[in-house]
Amino acid sequence: MSYQITFGPRVRKSPFFDCTVADGVRHFTIYNQMYMPTGYSDPQAEYRRLLEGVSMWDVAAERQVEIKGRDAERLVRYLTPRDLKNCAIGKGKYVPLCDHQGRLINDPVLLRLADDRFWLSIADSDVLLWVRAVAAEGGFDVTVSEPDVSPLAIQGPKAEAVVIDLLGDWVRDLKYFWFREADVDGIPLVVARSGWSKQGGFELYLCDGSKGEALWERVKKAGAAHGIGPGAPNYIERVESGLLSYGSDNLADSTPYEVGLDKMINLDRSDDFIGKQALFKEAEQGPARLLVGITFDGEPVPSNQHPWPVRVDGKSAGAVRVVCHSPRLAQNIGLALLDRPFTALGTILEIEGEGATYRATVVPQPLVPPGTPLP
C-alpha cells in the first residue's frame, strides 16, 4: 500500500525552498510547521562533505522568536534555567526552556541583539505561544513576535574559508557562538559562528525573506572554489557528536537532566525562573531516566522509523530513540532513553528492532570524540 501526506499552505516553505529543489533535494521533514530539507541524493557523500569539506543547509525552519522591550532581559532570564550572567550583545547561548514541572519544552539558541532585544532560535515546538502567554500573564513589558529571519548554515572544516570569501577577513575573529550583523550585496544578515554539528561552521541569519535566492546563489558562488554542496542537518554526525535533537531523543515529559543538559541548568541562581522548584527536586533525586549512548554489531542499520523497545534480563528498560551506522566507528550506534537502573556503562541491552533483534552495550558519550577523522 502506498500513501501520501497532504501538504497545504498550512505547511510553510523557506525562502530557500525553490533553490533546494533546484539543487536536487529529495527528502524533507516537517519542523515548526515548515518544510525542512533532510537529504539530497547521496547520504554518504553528504556526510563526507560535512566532515572533510563544506556543506550548506536550509535551516530556515529554525524560527526566531523575538522578545523586545523594557522587560526583555528579565523575561528571558525567567524563561530559562541557564544563568545568563555574561550575556553580552553579540553573544549567543544555548538555553534550555522548561515548563513549570521542569519538563524540557525546547532547546533554543539565544542571541542578544541589543540591551532590550533578543532572539530565541528555536527547535521544533511552539515557543511563540509559550513566550507570549508567559509575558502577558506575568505583566512583562515586551512585544513577542516572529521576525522575517531565516537561518542558512554553512558547516564543515572549510566553512570558514567560504565565509571569509563571502564576507571578509573579519570573520576569523568571530569567536564560537558570537555573532555580528553584516551585509552582502545588500542582503541583510546576522552572522554567527555556530551550527548543529561539531565540524565547525557558521550560520547566516537572513533578515529579508525576499532575498533567499540571492543569498543561496551568493553562498554557492563563494563556496564553489571550496567544493561546497547542499546538505542538511546531518543525522549521523549529530548522533556521533551527541547534539540533542529535541522531539527525537526525548519524550514529552523528559527533563533536561535526562537528556544530558545538566551543564545548562544553574540552580545556584538567586533569581526566579520557570521550573525552578521542580528542577531542584529532580537534581536532588536524580532523573528517573537517562539518555545513553549505545553501540551494537551487525549489518549497517538504516535509521529507525519508531522507537525500539529495550529489555535488560527480560525486563522492560525503555526505548532506543535513534539508531544509525557510524562510518567513523564502523559500527552501529544509537541513543536510548532508559530507566536509571539500566543506564550503567557496560549494561547489555536486548533490543527489538524493525525486523531484527540486537544486543547492544551502553557506552560513554559522545559516541565519537570531536576531531575523529573518517577512516
Q: Residue numbers of the site for ligand THG (CB under 6 A)?
A: 62, 94, 107-109, 121-123, 151, 194-196, 203, 243-244
Comparison of 268 and 284: residue with beta carbon closer to ligand THG = 268
Which residue number, 179 or 216, has a Cβ lying nearer to ligand THG?
A: 179
* Pair 65, 146: CB distance under 8 Å: yes
CB of 179 to ligand THG, least distance (A): 9
Contacts of 49 (CB under 8 A, 6+ apart): 55, 156, 227, 229, 231
| Least spacing, CB of residue 102 vs ligand THG, in Å | 19
Rounded distance, CA 120 to CA 118, Å? 7
In the complex, least distance from residue 299 CB atom to ligand THG, rounded to whole angstroms: 30
Question: Judged by CB, which is closer to ligand THG: 202, or 308?
Answer: 202
Residue 116, judged by CB atoms within 10 A of its CB (0-12, 13-18, 19+), counts as middle
CA–CA gap between residue 148 and residue 154 (Å, rounded): 20
Smallest distance from ligand THG to CB 50, Å: 13
Using the minimum distance from each CB to ligand THG, give the nearer residue, 261 or 360: 261
In the complex, least distance from residue 260 CB atom to ligand THG, rounded to whole angstroms: 9
CA 293 to chain centre: 18
Residue 140 or 196 with smaller CB distance to ligand THG: 196
Pick the closer one to ligand THG by CB: 171 or 317. Answer: 171
C-alpha cell at 238: 549529530
Q: Which residues of 358-371 are buried (b: 16+ CB within 10 A; e: fewer)?
A: bebebbebbbbeee
Cβ proximity to ligand THG: between 151 and 334 the closer is: 151
Which CB atom, from 108 or from 200, has the smaller least distance to ligand THG? Answer: 108
Min dist CB 252 to ligand THG, Å, is 17
- Which residues pair with residue 11 across a beta bridge? none
Q: Which three cell numbers stand for residue 107?
A: 532547546
- Looking only at the bridges linking them, the beta strands covering 229-231 and 55-58 are parallel
Closest separation in Å from C-beta 144 to ligand THG: 17
Helix or strand (DSSP H, E) at 284: helix 276-285
Cα 366 from Cα 242, distance rounded (Å): 5
Smallest CA-to-CA distance from 255 within 236, 283, 232, 234 is with 283
**Nearer CB in complex with ligand THG: 15/195:** 195
- CB of 361 vs ligand THG, minimal distance in Å: 24
Residues 126 and 94: their CA atoms lie apart, in Å, by 17
Calpha distance 342→339 (Å, rounded): 6
- Give least dist CB 242 to ligand THG, A: 7
CB 288 within 8 A of CB 137: no
